């Protein structure tokens, strides 16, 4: 999502953690794609900093973390797992728990 779009100028904020991905060639390719999208000439400004909202990569990471936490919680609270823990002194290896794949 653009930081701002006004008078043919688009300002985008690139997360500082991804600043190494920025190049003039990529900026030019993005400007051309935006011109095609908007159907007019665009002046593009890329600012390195903290975006006003979560980036798609941050959203993906947050969703993966939530799925992982839900999987760990489900295993820890499963009655069969608890029975194994109580009956055989079994232990859960949290690093071995993986969420179900999304279909």
pLDDT tens string 66-77:
999 999 999 999
Q: Is the pTM of this model over 0.75?
A: no
User: pLDDT tens across 6-29, in order?
Assistant: 788 899 999 898 899 999 999 999
What count of residues does the chain have?
Answer: 103
- Whether pLDDT at 1 is above 70: no
**62 Cβ contact partners less than 8 Å away, ≥ 6 residues apart:** 54
Tokens (6 digits) for 33? 């794609």
**Residue 102 pLDDT grade (very low, low, confident, very high; cuts 50, 70, 90):** low
Q: DSSP state, 35?
A: H
Domain boundaries, the chain: 4-49, 56-93
- The DSSP H or E segment spanning 78 is none
């Amino acid at each position: 999502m653009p930081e701002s779009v006004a008078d043919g100028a688009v300002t985008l904020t690139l997360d500082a953690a991804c600043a190494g991905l920025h190049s003039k060639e990529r900026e030019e390719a993005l400007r051309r794609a935006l011109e095609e999208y908007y159907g007019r000439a665009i002046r593009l400004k890329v600012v390195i900093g903290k975006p006003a909202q979560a980036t798609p990569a941050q959203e993906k990471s947050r969703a993966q973390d939530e799925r992982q936490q839900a999987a760990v919680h489900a295993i820890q609270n499963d009655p069969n797992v608890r029975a194994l823990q109580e009956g055989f002194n079994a232990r859960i290896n949290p690093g071995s728990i993986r969420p179900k794949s999304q279909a």
